Structure 1
Amino acid sequence: MLARPDILNPTLYRLLDMFRLNKVYVRGEGNYLYDEEGRQYLDFIAQYGAVPFGYNPPFLWEAISAFREAGIPSLVQPSVPLKASELAQKLAELAPGELQFATFTQSGAEAVEAAIKLARSATGRFKILSCENSFHGKTMGALSATGREVYQSPFFAPVPGFEKVPFGDIDALEEVLEREAGEIAAFIVEPIQGEGGIVVAPDGYLKAAKELCHRFGVVFVLDEIQTGLGRTGRLLACEKEGVEPDILLLSKALGGGLVPLGVCLSSPRVWNEGFGRLHSSTFANNNFTCQVGIAVLEKLLEDEGRLLKEVEAKGEYLISKVEEIQSRWPGVIKEVRGEGLMVGLEFSDFGPEDSFDMIFLSKQGGFCPLISGLLLNVYGIRCAPFLNNPMTMRLEPPLTVTVEEIDRCVEALDQICEIVYKKDYVWLFKYLLGDNSLPAQIRDYRKATLRPVVASQLKPGEKPLHRFAFLIHYPGREDVVHATPSLEQFTETQLEEFLDWQATEPESQVLCHMPSLRSRTGEVVEGWLIGVPFGAKQMMTLPRSVVVPVIQEAVDMARDMGADVVGLGAFTSVVTRGGRDVQGRGVAVTSGNSFTVAMAVEATFLGAEKMGMDLERATAAVVGATGSIGRVCAILLGERFARINLIGNPSRKNSSLRRLSSVADEIVLHAVSRRRQGDLRGLAGWINGALSKLKTGSEEGVDIARELEHIGSSSNPDALRPLGVLEAAAKHLGVPCPVTITLDIDKGLRMADVIITASNSPGYLIGPEHLKPGTVVCDVARPPDVSPAVSEKRKDVLVLEGGLVQLPDNVAFGSNLGCRAGITLACLSETILLALENDGKDYSIGTRIPLETVEHLRCLGAKHGFRLAALHSRGREITDEEIREIRAQANLCGQQAAGVR
């Protein structure tokens, strides 16, 4: 094993490692490579055409041995090199037209550089014209001619003097040549755009382009660095149309896979003395490399070009077989392109109705790397994606590939396309977790996966007035499965490993576009869901220096798309300190917690009512009461419940008790304030009754009553904290205090009739053993605090999903975050409401959300038609009949318990 496998290129190594493409090959023979463990891999890359005859072909080593035995010197500049001259002569004899002068190079990019210099010196003109989506190399001149910005921008390329035209568009070429007559030195073009995704030039294009170039005095340069020397089933691709370029560029295959060798072949029309005097290279005209080049040409031409004819036939066979796959699994392969053994297989994009994981991966350019890793690790076939065409696979085996080997690759691709067609995506990811087994039964998940985006209907000419964006991630296992149903086949451990893998190179992506969502008032907004690649554990355990910048970049992305407000879903709010870390970035921000609180409390009250509960005599408990949502829920529960139990985190004893005491103070303050306003429900009613008893008792009781009555308005700095006053009143009356705090979750939950749980725990907190019969639990946490075992084993308790909203229109965000059409999360709803209002201010930021903000959002919801959804349990709506059954079961359990006593 290499001591430093990343030492050559740590950036590339991380990508290879992510998709398990980081094999170390220790041996190559024929069409196969072998790793350190001796595993064999069929090579379908051939170093992008630079390994034409497989690895270590004997005839090339024989040529090298003959060179050594002859004792020919490798480098003899500026004298005449024997083997370089011989190779130049052979190339001149084989090349079309008058091509005869050979400028040898060490690479294709260097050959392109030579062509640029040659064309400029021949014409006295400056500009070089090339095609969009082209690739000509990565040295500065070649890079400037390359038609892909992704390769250029970090290097301030293109340099001046380079322009692009659409590939295959002869009219566009003519227009530029006419407009800039006298300025353009050369037009450089590939017969087949290799790195652009194997895009073949239209019939007649190259010949027409050459004629145009000659009409305007422009040098016609044909880049056959990848297509030349047998790759397309001809010695040169330009032979198909009988095109004779002014300059022909060759490399890759010319070195036989053993030595670096390229050539810029030119005609007397462009050769000039200035270039001949001033262009040179220390390692050019290398006798040793040219000896290999001679052997390559002889091999291609032996037996009257038998190998070339075989390549043509095998290429037609390969393309026909892949086209059969395309027909067998419709919609998976978008297009099959190529000639000979240079084939591009372009997969269809994943639409908004598909798996969020596949949409995310494809937008990151990771789909074909994923498939390449699958082929390599599971099928033992080495293929490669295109960096600048990320949905296209390259099928470019050595020219010596056999029909049986083609069949092997085709069979693997057929199975992969079946997986993609049936949406059983789990088979695409298993190898990433160390499972290299071949796919067994491929299940059909199409009905479960394909969930379209449903938007509000717009009137003719109507456009959304404002925009929102909402950040999402996977807070729980069920969320992963909602987005990609086939991942239900993973165990919890595998799902966590999968989320670890997703977070390897974190980058946010737009997953869903909602083109229009209409309010009850008629206003329309549009928005986006932006995925952040962290699960709950990753979000909470990775360093904030890793997580927060990714969330900030997602907010910036939303701003740049024109969002007026950005909502922070699930843990994106928690890790950014309630949203404080993403404020001030040119866009309004909300955590969505205010409307979440409003809907959670409303759902809790409704659930308790349907269970026939007397709220005044019941006990409510809050898990996670020190968080932004739990705190306000606890205060609002006090409006209807007389007894509140706050449950804290025992692992943080001191800070938890301190913060819980502060929340308890707020609960008491709010209840006293409501009593003054005449609202005697819940805790305010308990306080009112206590005051009546205290005032008619002893002098001590009267003093306590005075203290209790004036909580929040006393100017006495030595006054007890509100909770302390309440405790004193309860103690004097000889009754339990109605507001309690505890770190014992077992004790705290068993005392409760109603529970709201809203912790930030990445794991389950509440199990079947914690709850008494008839309990109503509203789980607002993401991931949920309530274990699935509660629903499975306890048919006498009602577990509700908190924070679900019925929208005013029956829209759906693709997979819709696990909800049916027309239903969504309250935090997303708050984001939409603020966009509808075009408020422009930040909301629900930090851990201390004002009650006024909750009420403001509640009113906005009523205004725009956003209301509490039907009660949901176990991932679906629960009917009144089902609730009655739970209530009956709870009563039965209660009677049995009473009988035992």
Structure 2
Amino acid sequence: MASDRTSAFPESEPETELADPMMLQWLGSLGFGVEYVRGGGNTLHFLDGAGEEIPVIDFAGGYGSLILGHNHPDIVRAARDFLDSGSPVLAQGSLQPAASEVAKTLSAIAQREFGASEPYFSVFSNSGAESIEVALKHAEFDRVLALRAVTEEIARHLDEARTAVRDGLAEVTAPAFDALGVVAQDRAAGAAGFERLAAAVRAENARRTARPPLFLALKGSFHGKLVGSVQLTYNAAYREPFAALAPPARFIDVDRPEALRELFERERGTVLDVVVDGGGIAVVERSFPVFGAFFCEVIQGEGGIREMTPEAAREIERACSAAGCPVVVDEIQSGMGRTGAFFASSRIGLRADYYTLAKSLGGGIAKTAVTLVRGRRYRPEFELVHTSTFAKDTFSSTIALRVLELLEADEGRAYRLAREWGERLTAMFTALRGEFPGVVKDVRGAGLMLGLEFHDQSGAQAPQIRAAARAGVFGYAVSGYLLTAHRIRTFPTASAVHTLRFEPSVLLTEAEVSRLGEALRTLCQILRDQDGRAFTGG
């Protein structure tokens, strides 16, 4: 009997796109509607109408995921060798030597770059946003256990004070009752008075410790779009629709890091404790952990390629240390050697309690991420309350290990290349700013994580340029022009759309850099001359 399943889809109806239809339409309107069929190094290829391959130089680099380029032959070989070996990808609840080796290598690199002997433990996940969630959860788990320890210590102190009162060695003092607002008619002597005091202490502490944890981040930050990570992302368009799902973060201005110390002082949490002082029972205040963690990027990616200064890093580290607040450095985009060192934070001397890594860790082939936790902070019990089916799979760990070997090879040649090509690109961008001061506003970044900011064009004479700026898509329109007119691929940063990002691999060539320079110079001429027809391709 013939099936009639296709009757619900008449051939006369147009095919409906079911995967991100609005996004695909938007990409097409800006000139990005091409399918790339082949990639290698910094080059992608798409097919034109005649079926011919058209090469495109890729300076977007998978939003910083391709420090070693598309389909690096050594990484591809490692993937093929693994798959050909028949090794299981998923064998949870067993020894995972590849993941263990990745963890040891990452810890050794951190110890080397930060000049420390303390190890870092690895918690594996599947994406950058998930690595932020891991840091968020581990920091909160650590805070809860620390709070529990404070509560248990206060309970012991109450027991000790109760014994002292019972044995006639101490008596509740009037100031102790005053501290808790116990009125005169409710006060009593001896054991009865103490129990009223103890009940009041427990009730007040329960009220104070019920406040939610306070997580902090920088203005301009981007840490992902999952339930927890989106609360740490500054862009309100991403964050506000989901504000009710998790406690919101407080955002600090990176140009005013002293505000962090002020916030710590203003928001510090205290609980009440009791002490036996001579022959009296006194009530004292003590701190309890209310600050979950401070999250930061030392180079903000989506926020416009903005660097943290060494001075700001020192102030952040001092303030967080004094407040007992752990520091989480998001190295998802800036790490893995992109800035000329494995950790961008090591360049400015910021040592964190947590580091998050992803993107290039998978070599452009695997999806993997790691959260590094400083030894003194690590809670082994976390392994029982946080697990993930696909995290630490053998395939992605094997690929990550090969990526680390390639980055570390030849005494870190990849890091040197990132620095050298970064200096070359920075010099080229700076020269453009000098030649076109009314077009190029700023050049920022380090290594192969660079931003080129254009002046606001919302008042442009050319209607095509003005319309793109006023619609908030100027950077995307510029990127569309570069792709269609020059076969150069890049994108703006998500929260600063007048800034183009450049994050190619270390496999750059002089010809690729020259092509980019020619394309950007032509673009600057078009913007200077307000040639709207050229900007939109006629």
TM bucket (normalised to shorter chain) is 0.7 to 0.9
Q: Which amino acid aligns with 1:12?
A: M
Residue aligning to 2:94: 79
1:436-475 matched pairs, under 5 angstroms:
none
Residue aligning to 2:254: 167
Aligned pair 1:198/2:308, yes or no? no
Please give the secondary structure, in 2, of the residue aligned with 1:318: helix
Q: Which amino acid aligns with 1:286?
A: D
Aligned pair 1:140/2:234, yes or no? no
Residue aligning to 2:401: 294
1:231 equivalent among 328, 333, 338: 338
Residue aligning to 1:46: 61
Do the aligned partners of 1:247 and 1:266 also contact (CA within 8 Å) in 2? yes
Residue aligning to 1:127: 214
Please give the secondary structure, in 2, of the residue aligned with 1:426: helix
- Could you say if the C-alpha distance between residues 408 and 253 of structure 1 is closer, same or farther in structure 2, counting changes exceeding 3 Å? same
Residue aligning to 1:360: 467
Please give the secondary structure, in 2, of the residue aligned with 1:266: strand
Do the aligned partners of 1:230 and 1:399 also contact (CA within 8 Å) in 2? no
1:303-702 matched pairs, under 5 angstroms:
303-350=410-457, 352=459, 354-430=461-537
1:579-627 CA-to-partner distances (Å, cap 9, x unmatched) read: xxxxxxxxxxxxxxxxxxxxxxxxxxxxxxxxxxxxxxxxxxxxxxxxx
Q: CA deviation at 1:161?
A: 4.4
1:253-278 CA-to-partner distances (Å, cap 9, x unmatched) read: 10000011100000122211442220
Query: Residues of 2 paired with 1:274 and 1:53: CA distance?
Result: 36
- Could you say if the C-alpha distance between residues 4 and 341 of structure 1 is closer, same or farther in structure 2, counting changes exceeding 3 Å? farther
1:263 equivalent among 355, 362, 370: 370
1:800-852 CA-to-partner distances (Å, cap 9, x unmatched) read: xxxxxxxxxxxxxxxxxxxxxxxxxxxxxxxxxxxxxxxxxxxxxxxxxxxxx
Residue aligning to 1:155: 242
- Could you say if the C-alpha distance between residues 99 and 349 of structure 1 is closer, same or farther in structure 2, counting changes exceeding 3 Å? farther
Query: Residues of 2 paired with 1:75 and 1:353: CA distance?
Result: 56
2:27 equivalent among 10, 16, 19: 16
Residue aligning to 2:47: 36
1:112 equivalent among 106, 127, 132: 132
Unmatched segments (≥5 aa) in structure 1: 432-901
Q: Which amino acid aligns with 2:27?
A: L
- Could you say if the C-alpha distance between residues 217 and 422 of structure 1 is closer, same or farther in structure 2, counting changes exceeding 3 Å? same
Aligned pair 1:25/2:36, yes or no? yes
Q: CA deviation at 1:242?
A: 3.0
Query: Residues of 1 paired with 2:396 and 2:305: CA distance?
Result: 28
1:57 equivalent among 54, 65, 72: 72
Higher RCO (C-alpha 8 Å, min separation 6): 2
Q: Which amino acid aligns with 1:270?
A: R
RMSD of the TM alignment (CA)? 1.8
Do the aligned partners of 2:332 and 2:357 also contact (CA within 8 Å) in 1? yes
1:607-653 CA-to-partner distances (Å, cap 9, x unmatched) read: xxxxxxxxxxxxxxxxxxxxxxxxxxxxxxxxxxxxxxxxxxxxxxx
| TM-score (normalizing by structure 2) | 0.77
Please give the secondary structure, in 1, of the residue aligned with 2:536: helix
Q: CA deviation at 1:351?
A: 5.7
Unmatched segments (≥5 aa) in structure 2: 1-13, 148-212, 269-288
Do the aligned partners of 1:145 and 1:158 also contact (CA within 8 Å) in 2? no
Please give the secondary structure, in 2, of the residue aligned with 1:430: coil
Residue aligning to 2:192: none
Query: Residues of 2 paired with 1:28 and 1:266: CA distance?
Result: 35
Query: Residues of 2 paired with 1:223 and 1:424: CA distance?
Result: 40
Q: CA deviation at 1:430?
A: 1.9
Q: CA deviation at 1:6?
A: 4.3
Do the aligned partners of 1:99 and 1:246 also contact (CA within 8 Å) in 2? no
Q: Which amino acid aligns with 2:357?
A: L
Please give the secondary structure, in 2, of the residue aligned with 1:270: coil
Residue aligning to 2:181: none
Please give the secondary structure, in 2, of the residue aligned with 1:264: strand
Query: Residues of 2 paired with 1:236 and 1:294: CA distance?
Result: 17
Residue aligning to 2:120: 100
Larger radius of gyration: 1
Q: CA deviation at 1:402?
A: 1.6
Q: CA deviation at 1:82?
A: 1.6
Query: Residues of 2 paired with 1:353 and 1:429: CA distance?
Result: 14
1:880-895 matched pairs, under 5 angstroms:
none
Q: Which amino acid aligns with 2:103?
A: A
Q: CA deviation at 1:344?
A: 0.7
Do the aligned partners of 1:206 and 1:243 also contact (CA within 8 Å) in 2? yes
Do the aligned partners of 1:48 and 1:226 also contact (CA within 8 Å) in 2? yes
Query: Residues of 1 paired with 2:445 and 2:312: CA distance?
Result: 16
Q: CA deviation at 1:429?
A: 1.1
Q: CA deviation at 1:354?
A: 3.5
Between the two proteins, the alignment pairs up a number of residues equal to 429
- Could you say if the C-alpha distance between residues 327 and 4 of structure 1 is closer, same or farther in structure 2, counting changes exceeding 3 Å? farther
1:845-860 matched pairs, under 5 angstroms:
none
1:764-843 matched pairs, under 5 angstroms:
none
Please give the secondary structure, in 2, of the residue aligned with 1:408: helix
Residue aligning to 2:389: 282
2:352 equivalent among 240, 245, 269: 245
Do the aligned partners of 1:330 and 1:421 also contact (CA within 8 Å) in 2? no
| TM-score (normalizing by structure 1) | 0.46
The share of aligned pairs that are identical, in percent, is 34
Q: Which amino acid aligns with 2:439?
A: V
Query: Residues of 1 paired with 2:382 and 2:250: CA distance?
Result: 23
Query: Residues of 1 paired with 2:490 and 2:16: CA distance?
Result: 21
Q: CA deviation at 1:313?
A: 0.8
1:272-314 CA-to-partner distances (Å, cap 9, x unmatched) read: 1442220000011111101010111111111111121011011
- Bigger shift: 96-105 or 318-327? 96-105
